[in-house]
A and B are shown apart, each in its own frame.
Chain A
């Protein structure tokens, strides 16, 4: 079965760092991009950026550039989303998704809830 499994919910304080993960299985991890998508409470989907796991090439939405870092370790079929200094406004659900560009995001992780509160 093709699936993406994300790491568990996180509760952090402002200014703390965080890395969440997304592990792919059941397919060739280096054959598809991985995108990260944010969904703030009660809001829509926002694309944050993506990585090509074959060469770790990334590109980011201008809205997120400089605030998050996307990386991948193809040896363990895992992509990461990390923050060096969280803000309360980072409180959201974060999804990873397999991207069969340009044909859409066809496999999604279950989501990781990040709560940032003092």
Chain B
């Protein structure tokens, strides 16, 4: 299995801050990396696919970068609605597909 490791596991930040979350794969996954946002009691929402492509309807303050084993999700200026848990997920191998453990973004 390809292991996905996110850091940090939790993060406190203020509205307007720039925030970066990292995701590392246990082997190269090219650019087959996706990012999701999940709010309490809600289904996950796709933010970024193929490492850096913004899903339709997602605000441009969200961006993704990276390839190979190291990836980042950046929120350029945090808004109140961005406080949530974020997950990375690799789609390089479907045997199995794997998610990171999640990063909880909290209000400072």
Q: Is A24's CB within 8 Å of the partner chain B? A: no
Are the CB atoms of A62 and B43 closer together than 8 Å? no
Q: Is A11's CB within 8 Å of the partner chain B? A: no
Are the CB atoms of B101 and A59 closer together than 8 Å? no
Q: Is A118's CB within 8 Å of the partner chain B? A: no
Q: Is B44's CB within 8 Å of the partner chain A? A: yes
Are the CB atoms of A103 and B50 closer together than 8 Å? yes
Chain A residues with Cβ below 8 Å from B50 are 102-104
In the complex the two chains form, what is the Cα distance from A71 to B49 in whole Å? 26
Which residues 87-118 of A have a CB within 8 angstroms of B?
A: 95, 97, 99-106, 108-111
Chain B CB count within 10 A is highest, among A35, A44, A59, for A44
In the complex the two chains form, what is the Cα distance from A101 to B91 in whole Å? 7
Are the CB atoms of B87 and A45 closer together than 8 Å? yes
Chain A residues with Cβ below 8 Å from B94 are 50, 59, 101
Chain B residues with Cβ below 8 Å from A32 are none
Q: Mark A38-62, 1 if CB is under 8 A from B, else 0.
A: 0000001111011000000001111
In the complex the two chains form, what is the Cα distance from A105 to B45 in whole Å? 8
Q: A44-B100, A95-B43 are in contact. List 11 more A-B contacts (CB 8 A).
A: A45-B89, A45-B102, A47-B89, A101-B91, A103-B49, A104-B91, A105-B36, A106-B55, A108-B44, A109-B43, A110-B43
